[in-house]
Amino acid sequence: MDIKHGIKIIGTGSYTPETVVKNSDFSEYMDTDDEWIYSRTGIKERRFNTGKTNFFMAGEAAKRALDSAGAKPEEIDMIIVSTASPDFFYPSAACLVQNIIGAKNAAALDVSAACAGFIYALDVARNYLFAGKYKKIMVIASEFLSRQFDFYDRTVSVLFGDGAGCVIIGGSRRPYASVLGAAGEGCSDMKLFCKANYGMNVPFAKTADKEEQDPYIRMNGKDVYKFAVDIMPKAVKEVCPQAGFALSDVDLLIPHQANIRIINSAMKDLGIPAEKVFLNIEKRGNISSACIPVCLDELNRAGKLRDGARICAVAFGAGFTYGAAAFEL
């Protein structure tokens, strides 16, 4: 594919809930503390959604992106939502957003690739733009992970936060490349998962069929960590040359905000200096697939998405999935 069929960011928006939960709030009811959480993860606080739906957050991010783009909802040709924490199996989150914002001309679909979902969704959008069918696509990632917590599981509940980010993109003649992948062995002994909960209210089921339905996120943190420190720099090293630039040409690296130690290890491997790496993990925690679009919106509102900037975004997630996108604005 021609690397000169790139993307143009027309608008960005994000929504993070009002409720701020600090590390010390967890110490009030379980054996953990700020020192452990901050030194092992880089997280000080995160936002938790209390009382709203996931699609409400996605809709707010979408409205803010429309404002930033100066675009009308009817101009949107397609809405793609990445989420690992939807409100419904169906309708899709994208349809729910389409209805809220009144994007009556938009096709709507969801993407499921866990924390790497935004990179996957961006790539789907870019390919539709490249095919010439659509002009403006809204790419959203929205996560309500706190509702999947066992709040007493200190190995998970301190890591994640809630929120949504949205970018509206169009096509451009600037460079763009992506690397997407999956290492399905991440499922073989369930290193990071959250079961679909069907309730098992089945009158005909035998006792064995009614086995415990654990509805919470469960994770083998060490195995996820090992996968991440290996794949993040590999994916960046692969994608940048495909977009036609050297690692030293990258102006902004936007990594999945999972753990500051994973990010530092990747930066060291890549030789990318800290001032080029965007971080919001300290205040937001890991918002799964919403990390990268929320970062993009924060960067945009700070005036840092300048024309010609070379961006590389990289993420990994359950599955395991991974993805990196390198593009020039």
| Active site amino acids | 115, 256, 286
- Spell out the SS3 assignment of 207-260: HHHHCCCCCCCEECHHHHHHHHHHHHHHHHHHHHHHHCCCHHHCCEEEECCCCH
Closest to 159 in 3D by CA, of 253, 314, 44, 28: 44
Answer yes or no whether residue 37 interacts with ligand UT7 by CB under 6 A. Answer: yes
CB of 205 to ligand UT7, least distance (A): 33
Query: Of 7-15, 122-130, 152-160, 235-243, which part binds ligand UT7 (CB under 6 A)?
Result: 152-160
Answer yes or no whether residue 294 interacts with ligand UT7 by CB under 6 A. Answer: no
**Beta-strand relationship, 162-172 and 107-111:** unpaired
Report 106-145 residues binding ligand UT7 (CB under 6 A): 115
**C-alpha distance across the termini of the chain, in Å:** 18
Token duo for residue 210: 């009614």
Q: With the CA atoms of 286, 300, 110 and 328 taken in that order, what torsion angle do they form, in degrees rounded to the nearest 10?
A: -110
Distance CA 199, CA 125 (A): 35
CB of 12 to ligand UT7, least distance (A): 22
Of positions 164, 224, 236, 272, contacts ligand UT7 by CB under 6 A:
224
Of positions 173, 222, 268, 306, contacts ligand UT7 by CB under 6 A:
222
Distance CA 195, CA 158 (A): 20
Q: Please report, as a single letter, which amino acid is at residue 267.
A: M
CB of 52 to ligand UT7, least distance (A): 22
Answer yes or no whether residue 91 interacts with ligand UT7 by CB under 6 A. Answer: no
Closest to 295 in 3D by CA, of 264, 256, 245: 256
Nearer to ligand UT7, 69 or 290 (CB): 290
Answer yes or no whether residue 221 interacts with ligand UT7 by CB under 6 A. Answer: yes
Distance CA 177, CA 126 (A): 10
Answer yes or no whether residue 148 interacts with ligand UT7 by CB under 6 A. Answer: no
| DSSP H or E segment with residue 291 | helix 291-301
Nearer to ligand UT7, 152 or 198 (CB): 152
Nearer to ligand UT7, 37 or 252 (CB): 37
Query: Of 4-12, 31-39, 69-77, 302-310, which part binds ligand UT7 (CB under 6 A)?
Result: 31-39
* String marking each residue 267-286 x if it binds ligand UT7 according to CB under 6 A: -------------------x
Find how far residue 316's CA is from the centre of its chain.
Answer: 9
Nearer to ligand UT7, 222 or 304 (CB): 222
User: Binding residues for ligand UT7, per CB under 6 A?
Assistant: 32, 36-37, 40-41, 115, 154-155, 158, 219, 221-222, 224-225, 228, 258-259, 286, 288, 317
